[in-house]
Amino acid sequence: MSMKNFRRARKRVEVSVGESVRIIRELQELTQNEVAKRTGIPQSTISAIEKDRVNLGVERAKALARALQCHPAVLLFPGWEVSKESAA
């Protein structure tokens, strides 16, 4: 079988804003309660954000980014791709 018969695999996985918050939180082994204490955002709101039931918003993104030690854009735009030409 020649290589012409194969299709390229997609390299990207779609991740929602809420999923990105949960993934980053879990990678740091933090509970929702720990993040709530660090941010002042109620645990129930953090849960709703992670389930994409509540919009993250800029102010919450800033607070969560400080608690999770990442840039707010990582949380707000998880699927954003920048071409190398425009990033330079």
pLDDT at 13: 67
User: What CATH number should be reported for the domain holding residue 35?
Assistant: 1.10.260.40
58 belongs to a structural domain: yes
48 belongs to a structural domain: yes
Extract the tokens encoding 10. 């997609």
What lies within 8 Å, CB to CB, of 18 at 6+ separation is 49, 50, 51, 52, 53, 56
pLDDT at 8: 67
81 belongs to a structural domain: no
pLDDT at 2: 58
Per-residue pLDDT of the chain (88 residues; tens, 9 = 90+): 556 676 665 656 688 999 999 999 999 999 999 999 999 999 999 999 999 999 999 999 999 999 999 999 989 888 776 665 555 5
pTM for the full model? 0.76
What residue has token string 């707000």?
Answer: 76
43 belongs to a structural domain: yes
Q: How many distinct structural domains can be found in the chain? A: 1
- Region of 40 (left: φ > 0; alpha: ψ -120 to 50; beta: rest) is left
